[in-house]
Chain A
Amino acid sequence: DSGVTQTPKHLITATGQRVTLRCSPRSGDLSVYWYQQSLDQGLQFLIQYYNGEERAKGNILERFSAQQFPDLHSELNLSSLELGDSALYFCASRGSSETQYFGPGTRLLVL
């Protein structure tokens, strides 16, 4: 158990819909990272938050957004969903070391 929790574990929705994925980092970790793992793209960095502020962005679509709340949990919002958004979404948290610890992921299926 990494100490990082993600909900929900599975999500099935339709094209055009909007979903919110939630992540709680390890106790004391200020940084939260979001990654997407699709079949053909591997694990891709989406976005990072540090203590409530956006710190870095990767190849995140404009339809996607995220935020980190004062209690340090983070939410990834995916809107106008397309079939190609079906993937595993992982969050990871990081403390003072360089190591990121990953949550169990949310499997999103867009039909």
Chain B
Amino acid sequence: DQQVKQNSPSLSVQEGRISILNCDYTNSMFDYFLWYKKYPAEGPTFLISISSIKDKNEDGRFTVFLNKSAKHLSLHIVPSQPGDSAVYFCAASAWVGSSNTGKLIFGQGTTLQVKP
């Protein structure tokens, strides 16, 4: 059962344009969401996160939007740069009982290619 889904395996955009990466989830208990960027043979690098009490969080060129009713989040990168080319993972964590252990459930990833 894939609780976090990234339905687009790949995305190609032109340098300077907007990149929009999407993520859907099924578990309504998820209360914290994160985006990671990953290069081959390296560990995931944290990009940006959002709590379920917010609908938007912005950090420089990166903005994450959360639509709780649709169980959908998206990462916007504006403007896109060739150095942004990597695999992007969304991840979610949930409270279980009275604690949040923080274990992350990851989507399958979307490979972003930004063309010069």
Contacts and interface: CB of A to CB of B under 8 A. Distances in A.
Interface in A42-74: 42-45, 48, 50, 55-56, 58
A99 B46 contact: yes
The range of chain B's interface size is 20 to 34
B42 A45 contact: no
A70 to B, nearest CB: 21
A25 to B, nearest CB: 13
Contact of B106 (A4, A43, A99): A43
A107 B41 contact: yes
A101 B45 CA distance: 7
B20 to A, nearest CB: 21
A31 B103 CA distance: 10
- Identify the interface centre among B32, B41, B101, B105: most chain A CB within 10 Å of its CB: B101
Nearest to B34: A99
Contacts of A98: 32, 34, 49, 51, 93, 100, 102
Interface of A: 2, 4, 6, 31, 33, 35, 42-45, 48, 50, 55-56, 58, 90, 92, 94, 98-105, 107
17 contacts: A43-B89, A45-B104, A50-B101, A55-B101, A56-B103, A58-B103, A90-B44, A92-B43, A92-B104, A98-B102, A100-B104, A102-B43, A102-B44, A103-B43, A104-B42, A105-B41, A105-B42
